[in-house]
């Protein structure tokens, strides 16, 4: 494992990248200018093409998560609000690493088809970081309302949002719109229990696979 760099706090780990020689890739967070959380994907692998792979993962995160260059932290990405958004960024990083080199990357729409109930749930930004989830034409239907409420709670959990004033409403405490994050997490909010299990498994793997050199937490 070559020389060790001070990259900040490691927040997530992909222990084997199936799209690139099973290398491990980690996501690091460092506080930069004005307290903004700057994120960097890094690998200690010395394989040819690692820099290009990391570059692809970072670009995928920017597109899929709406991240921007971190002010004063060259090469790092941040959310426009500067907040950590830890749970969301972890999911974003894992999803970016699932993309094969050269594959098309796009932000997901804020709309999800609920197969179980055969309707589509749409999220709409209401300003100041707020979102409203609804099923078109489903107003006044108890079953729809319960499902929308459940998915909204899932989104609140996965994106670390706050409940809004009404059922089906949620907001980011930073007061900033994050359409890409809502799109990214909406599908997972349909089945929160499975998503939480997966997150726990990933965390356990991270602990087991943590190189001994990573003690500077």
The answer to whether 122 and 110 have CB atoms below 8 angstroms apart is: yes
CB of 105 to Zn ion, least distance (A): 21
Q: Could you tell me which stretch among 10-18, 29-37, 82-90, 183-191 binds Zn ion (CB under 5 A)?
A: 82-90
Q: Could you tell me which stretch among 12-20, 72-80, 87-95, 104-112 binds Zn ion (CB under 5 A)?
A: 72-80
210 binds Zn ion (CB under 5 A): no
Neighbour-count burial for 75-100, b at 16+ CB within 10 Å, e otherwise:
ebbbbebbbbbebbbbbbbbbbbebe
- How far is it, in rounded angstroms, from Cα 27 to Cα 10? 6
12 binds Zn ion (CB under 5 A): no
Binding Zn ion by CB under 5 A: which of 83, 84, 95, 180?
83
Binding Zn ion by CB under 5 A: which of 15, 117, 126, 176?
176
Secondary structure class of 214 (helix, strand, coil): coil
The answer to whether 170 and 162 have CB atoms below 8 angstroms apart is: yes
CB of 200 to Zn ion, least distance (A): 24
The answer to whether 76 and 54 have CB atoms below 8 angstroms apart is: no
CB of 130 to Zn ion, least distance (A): 12
- How far is it, in rounded angstroms, from Cα 169 to Cα 147? 13
174 binds Zn ion (CB under 5 A): yes
Q: Could you tell me which stretch among 78-86, 89-97, 103-111, 163-171 binds Zn ion (CB under 5 A)?
A: 78-86
Contacts with Zn ion by CB under 5 A lie at 79, 81, 83, 172, 174, 176
């Amino acid at each position: 494992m070559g020389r060790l760099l001070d990259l900040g706090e490691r927040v997530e780990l992909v222990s084997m990248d199936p799209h690139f020689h099973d290398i491990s890739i980690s996501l690091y967070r460092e506080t930069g200018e004005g307290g903004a959380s700057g994120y960097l994907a890094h690998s200690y692998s010395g394989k040819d093409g690692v820099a290009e792979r990391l570059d692809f993962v970072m670009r995928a995160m920017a597109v899929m998560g709406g991240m921007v260059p971190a002010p004063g932290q060259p090469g790092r990405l941040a959310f426009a609000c500067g907040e950590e958004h830890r749970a969301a960024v972890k999911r974003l990083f894992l999803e970016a690493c699932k993309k094969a080199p050269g594959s098309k990357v796009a932000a997901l729409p804020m709309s999800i088809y609920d197969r179980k109930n055969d309707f589509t749930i749409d999220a709409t930004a209401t300003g100041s970081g707020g979102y409203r989830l609804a099923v078109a034409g489903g107003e006044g239907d108890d079953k729809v309302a319960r499902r929308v409420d459940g998915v909204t709670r899932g989104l609140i959990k996965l994106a670390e949002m706050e409940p809004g004033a009404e059922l089906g409403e949620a907001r980011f405490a930073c007061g900033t719109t994050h359409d890409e994050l809502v799109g990214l997490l909406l599908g997972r909010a349909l089945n929160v229990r499975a998503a939480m299990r997966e997150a726990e498994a990933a965390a356990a793997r991270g602990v087991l696979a943590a190189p001994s050199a990573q003690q500077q937490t």
